Chain A
C-alpha cells in the first residue's frame, strides 16, 4: 500500500520536472502540489551518495515533523538510510522511524535487521542504542524479537545495556500486555541488579508493569535503600514513591501509640532540633517511649528496615531536584513517627523560592500537610506571606496555608497581614482573603468579634465584589450567634439599596428572613422594597424574596399578608420553573385553606427551624488519603494508574522475607559443604566469568536456574554461529569451571590481631563487580573482634593515594561486638597499577595505618571472547605488546583442568573456548582502562609449555607473565 502510494507521489513529482528543486524553504507553507514537489527533491537528496545532501534532507524532514507536518510519504526513501555511515543521518533516521513506524508497519520491518545486528555489536553503547530504537518501534509483529532482545540485554555485562533493557520493558508492555508474565521475570532479574544505573529504571518498569507484585521487592528492599543516594535523581523519585507504598504494607504505624487527639500539640516541638544528632536522639527517645508504652499497651518497636529507609532518604532532602525533595517529604509524612516529620518543613519551604509552577504544587501539598501537622510549619509562617508579584493562584494557595496555620497565638499577626491583602488590586485574591478571614473567625472563637467587625467595615468598601464577598461571609458567621448581632443585620438590611451582586443580595435577604424576629420593624420594609423590584431580580434573589415573604407571613402576618400575596402572585407567572414551583409550594404550605393538609400546621416549624451553622473548612481537608505529591492528590481525583496508598497493617508481616543470604561473603561460601549446594549458590552470584552472561543474582527456583543456564548457553550459541553442540558443552564447562576457583579466594592480612589490639582484619579480592563504580576493584574485608570489649565506628580515614587512584569506602560499621565477625566491601580504583592504597583504619579509640597492594592478576576482569575474536584481537597486539616465555609445567599441573584452575586463581580471567586441546586461552580486561589482556598457554610434550601474554599495557603484561609462570611451575 504505502509503497504504491509513494510511487504515485513520485509520479506526481515527475510531472513538474524543470521547476527549481533545491532551496525551498521548508518553513514556508504551501499547497499540496508544491508539497509533492518538495518531497520529491527530498527523495532525490536521500537517494544521493553524498552524506551532506542526505543530512540536509533529513534535517528538513525532522523540521517538518517538529512542526507537526505529515512526512509519512517519505518513509521508503528514509528507511533506506537506516544503515547510513554518517552518525547524524543515522540518528535523524531513527527519529523519523520511531515517529512513523506505527503507520507504515510493513516497511518498518525492513529496518529491523539493522538493529538486530546492532544488538550484537561489541560496543555496549551501540548495543544499547540499537535496543532503544528497536523497542521504540511500535509494530506488533516484532514483539517476539523485542522480547528476545530484552531478555538478552537484561543479562548483558554492561550495566548501561541492562538499563536500556529496563527502559524497554514498559514499551513492550504497552505494545502487548500479554507479555506481562515474561516481562515480570525480566523485571525480577533486573531488580536483583546491584548497579545504581539500573535501579531507577527497573523500578520504573516495575511500577508500570506489575506494581501489585510487592513480593518482588522484599529481597531487594535493603539494597534499594542503600543504593538510593547514588541513583540518578529521576530514578530516586520513582524508587522513593514505590518504597513508601512498600513500607505501608510491611511495617507498623509508628504513631500507633500516640493519641490522635493531640494534633499540632507538644509532639511536634522537636522539629527544630539540629539534623545531625537527631537520629541518635530519636533512638534514645524511642527507647524511652518504648519503656513507657510497655506499661500500658503493646509496645511499638520500629522495624530496623523501617528505620533504614527513613535514615537513607533523609539526606535527599538536600537535593537540588524539587521532585526528589517532594518525594522524601511525602515519605516522611506518610511513614515517619510524628516527632520526626518536622525535618521536611524546612526543605519544602526552600522549594517555595523556586519557579511558580513548583510553588504551586508544593503549596498544594503543604496545605494538606498543614491541616494534619500544623506545628510543623508554624515557625515558617512568614515564608507564606504573600507578595504583590505572586500570581493569583499562588496567592490563593498561600492564603489557604496561612489560614490553616492560624491559632490563638499567631492570629493577630495573620489578621494584620490579611488586612493589607484586602487592599490588593487583584479582586479574586481579595475575595479569597475575605473568605479566609471568615474561616479564621469560625475556627478561633477569640477573634470572632474582631473579624466580624472588620468585615462589617468592609461593607462600606467601594468595590462591590469586596462587599458582596463580605456579606456572604458575614451571613455564615452570624448564623453562629445571631442574637448578639442584630445591629449588624440592620446595617446589612440598609445595603439592599445599593448592593447589586445577586449572591450578596440573596444572602442579606436570607439573613433578614431567618432572623426577622431580631429586626421586627425593618424586615417588612425590606420585603416591601423587594416586592417592588421583584421582576428585575436574578433568580437566586427571587427565591430568597419568596423565602423572606413566607417567613414574615408566618411570624408577622398582620403586616405582611398582602405583600406576601403580591410576591407569590408575581412569582406564579415567572418565567422560571423553579420559581413558579416554589411559589405554588409555599402558598399551599403557609396559606391555610380547607384543602391544605396537615403539613401547614407545621409550616412555622418547617421554615423557622434552627439551622445548624455552616462549617467553614479547608478544601484540603482529608486530601491526605491520596499519596502526597501525586497527581491524584493535586487534582483531588484518582488519576489513571494511581496506586492506592495502603493502610498500615494491624500486625507486621514477617520481616525475615527481606533477609538476603550474604552473597558477598566469601567465607560463607567456603562453608558450603555439598557440591550441589554450591552449584545453586553459584547461579545466584553475579558471575561474570563470561562476558555476555551476566547478570545479577536470581532468586528463582530451580527452573529459573535452568533457564539461566540455557540462556547463557544460548547466547554463546548466538554469538558464535559456527559453534556446535560440542562448543556449547565447552561453554558450560567453562562456566562451571571458572567459577570454582573463586570459592578458594586467597585472603591477605590487613591488620594482625596483636597490632590491632584484638581487632584483626583480612581482605581478599572478591572478584565481584563493585556496583557503585565499575572501574573499581572490589576488596572484601573481614573484621574479627577477638578482644573482650566491643569495637565501635569502624571506618576509613586519611586515604593516601597515587594520583588518579580513588577509593570508595565501605559504610561505617557502627558496632562490632566482642567475638563477632563482620564483613564489608570497599572499592579501589588502582588505575591499573600495583601501587598500594594507604589509609587509616579507625575505630572509636584507635587508628591503624594499613595498606592494600593488589596482585596484578586482580587488576582485571574477565571478558568473554569467541575463538575468532580472540585470534583477531591477538593479531592486533603483536610486537611490543606480546610477551612469550617458555616453561616446564609442575608435575601436578599437566592436565587441562589444573592449568585452567591455576591461571584463573592467579588472575581474574575467563576461559576462551578453543578447538585444540593443546592450548588454553584466557581473556580479560584491565579494570580501569579496559585494555585487553589475552593469555595463551600452549602445552607440548613432557610438561614443556609456552606462555604468551598479549596486553597493550606492557607493565601489566610483564608482571602477569611472572605471576602466571610462578603459578604454573610450583
Chain B
C-alpha cells in the first residue's frame, strides 16, 4: 500500500523521508514539485499525481505537504485519511505540527511512523495504543531522560491491541475522575447582501476529555436527539443502541477524543446570529473607493458574540485602505490585498463599524468585482441548533466522577456575498443590468 512518505515544507525542502518497503529515491518528488509549480495556490496541488512508476498522494496541513508514494491500486481516500491521521497524531504528541516540532522530535516521529504502518498497511492508529508504545515527550520527561538515560519507549508491551476495546488503554488510574464534553457547533452560511440566507447549515461535534479510572461504561442522552440528522461516531459508540434508543453508549478512550460529529437537518431553520451591513463602492475615473461596514447581533438568545474577526479579499486594483474602526484593529496587506478586522466583542448598544476610503491604482479601471466578506465569531454557552444533553451516566465503576458539559457556537464557513440574488430566475435583464452597472 503506502510505499514511502516524504515531508515537504513550504519552501520545497524534503525534510523527512520514511520508507516501509524498498527505498524509493527522493527524486520522485520532482513530479510533485512540477505539479506544485503549475498550481497557482498551495491548496490547488492535486491530491493525486500520477508519475510513470508511482502515484503520489499528498495532503497539505500546517504548511507541510505529506506526500505518500504508492505503487499500485489503493483507494485514494484510504491514503488521505491515513495521512490526516498521522498529522493528528503528531499534533497530539507535540502540541503543534510544524516543521520545527517534527525536526526536534525526529526520533519519536520515526518511531511513531514505524508503529503506525507495517509494510505500508496501517497497524496501530489509535492514539491510546500509540501512547502506550511511545510516550509523548514532555519537558519534564525530556529532562529526566537526559539525566537518567531512560527512554520514551514504553517498557511494558501494549496489551491494548489485544483487547476488545483497542481504543482504551488498560490500567488507567486517576485521583480525580473527570469527564468533560464540549458541544461545539459551526454555522456554514452564505448570506446575500440584503441579509437573506442562501444556504445555512449547522454541523457540530462533541469533543470529550475523559479521565476516568478503570473501565467505565458511559451513556449520554440528549433532550432532543431528533435534531441530529446525520451522525458519525467514534468506533467506541455502540451503533445498535443509538439506532434503537438514540442514546450514546460507549466505553471511552482515555484522554481527548471526538465522540461524535453531527449535522443538523437542513429542514430546520438556522438562526443567523450576526448581520452585516456593508457598502463597498468604486467609481469610474476616481482613484478612490468607499468602504462602509457595520456589524450587529441577531438571534443570539441574549448571549454575547465574541472574538469576531472580519476578513475580505479586496480587488487587485486596491492599493491601500485608510479606514477607521469604531473598535478593534484592522490590517490591510497591500501584497495579498487581504483586509482583516479584529473586532472583538459586539456590544449591542454600540455597534462596531469600519468606515473609510480605499485608494486605487491611478489610471487603472474600476475593479469589476465586489469582495466577499468572511466572518468568524464565537458564542459561548449556547448551541445554536438548540441541542441539549440530558444526562450522563456511568456504569461499571463505583466512584462518582465529576461531569461537565460546555456548549459553544462558532462560525464555520460564514460568508456574505456582495450581491443581492434575484428572486426570479436567471434572466437576461438582470445579468445585463449588473454588467452595465459595473461598466
Which residues from chain A sit less than 8 Å from chain B, CB to CB? Answer: 27, 50-52, 55, 59, 62-63, 65-68, 86-88, 91-92, 94-95, 99, 102, 123-126, 132, 135-136, 138, 158-160, 164, 167-168, 170-171, 174, 197, 201, 204, 229, 232-234, 237, 241, 276, 315, 318-323, 325-327, 346-347, 349-350, 353, 355-358, 360-362, 382-383, 385, 387-389, 391-393, 411-412, 415-416, 418-420, 423-425, 447, 450-451, 453-454, 457-458, 460-463, 629-632, 634-635, 637, 639-643, 772-776, 803-804
Contacts and interface: CB of A to CB of B under 8 A. Distances in A.
A776 B71 CA distance: 41
B348 interface: no
Contacts of B258: 320
29 contacts: A87-B151, A88-B151, A88-B153, A91-B114, A99-B19, A135-B119, A167-B121, A170-B119, A234-B82, A234-B121, A319-B233, A322-B81, A358-B84, A360-B47, A361-B47, A382-B266, A385-B198, A388-B313, A389-B413, A391-B43, A419-B430, A419-B431, A423-B370, A425-B316, A457-B428, A458-B435, A639-B72, A640-B73, A803-B396
A388 to B, nearest CB: 4
B119 A167 contact: yes
B81 A174 contact: no
A387 B190 CA distance: 8
Contacts of A63: 106-107
A237 B77 CA distance: 10
**Best-buried of B73, B313, B372 by chain A (most CB within 10 Å):** B73
A325 B261 CA distance: 14
Contacts of A640: 71-73
B263 interface: yes
B133 to A, nearest CB: 9
B2 to A, nearest CB: 11
**Best-buried of A125, A158, A411, A424 by chain B (most CB within 10 Å):** A125
A712 to B, nearest CB: 23
A44 to B, nearest CB: 17
A773 B164 contact: yes
Contacts of A639: 50, 55, 72-73
B396 A350 contact: no
B37 interface: no
A357 to B, nearest CB: 4
Task: Tell me the dominant secondary structure on chain B's binding face.
Answer: mixed
Contacts of B239: 229, 315, 318
B155 interface: yes
Contacts of B381: none
A391 B41 contact: yes
A133 B61 CA distance: 31
A132 B121 CA distance: 12
A931 to B, nearest CB: 15
Given A320-B258, A392-B44, A773-B164, A91 B111 contact: yes
B31 to A, nearest CB: 14
A392 B45 CA distance: 10
A454 B75 contact: no
B110 A234 contact: no
Contacts of B61: 355
Contact of B76 (A62, A124, A361, A425): A361
B43 to A, nearest CB: 4
A397 to B, nearest CB: 11
Contact of A463 (B153, B201, B368): B368
Interface string B403-439: 0000000000101010101101111101110010001
A631 B428 contact: no
Contacts of A59: 107
Task: Tell me the dominant secondary structure on chain A's binding face.
Answer: helix
B78 interface: yes
Given A102-B22, A393-B44, A423 B121 contact: no
Contact of A68 (B17, B149, B397): B17
Given A167-B121, A415-B425, A62 B107 contact: yes
Q: How large is the interface on B (under 10, 10 to 19, 20 to 34, 35 or more residues)?
A: 35 or more
Nearest to A930: B159
A637 B73 CA distance: 11
The 7 closest A-B pairs by CB, nearest first: A52-B149, A641-B72, A415-B426, A412-B425, A88-B151, A773-B164, A88-B153
Contacts of B346: none
Contacts of A170: 119, 121
Contacts of B368: 423, 461-463
Contacts of B365: 462
Given A237-B78, A420-B417, A775 B163 contact: yes
B344 interface: no
Contact of B78 (A67, A323, A776): A323
B359 to A, nearest CB: 19
Contacts of B413: 387, 389
B154 to A, nearest CB: 8
A456 to B, nearest CB: 9
Contact of B426 (A135, A229, A323, A447): A447
B360 to A, nearest CB: 15
A320 B236 CA distance: 11
Contact of B428 (A27, A86, A167, A453): A453
A357 B151 contact: no
Given A88-B152, A361-B47, A420-B417, A350 B232 contact: yes
Contact of A641 (B73, B103, B106, B163): B73
Interface in B146-181: 149, 151-153, 155, 157-159, 161-164, 166
B109 A630 contact: no
Nearest to A353: B203
Given A66-B106, A95-B111, A322-B77, 7 more contacts: A68-B14, A124-B162, A138-B21, A320-B235, A358-B84, A447-B426, A463-B368
**Best-buried of B23, B75, B81, B261 by chain A (most CB within 10 Å):** B75
B15 interface: yes
Contacts of B73: 630-632, 639-643
Contacts of B315: 425
Interface string B258-276: 1001010010000000000
Contact of A631 (B48, B163, B419): B48
B121 A204 contact: yes
B149 A318 contact: no
Contacts of B114: 91, 94-95
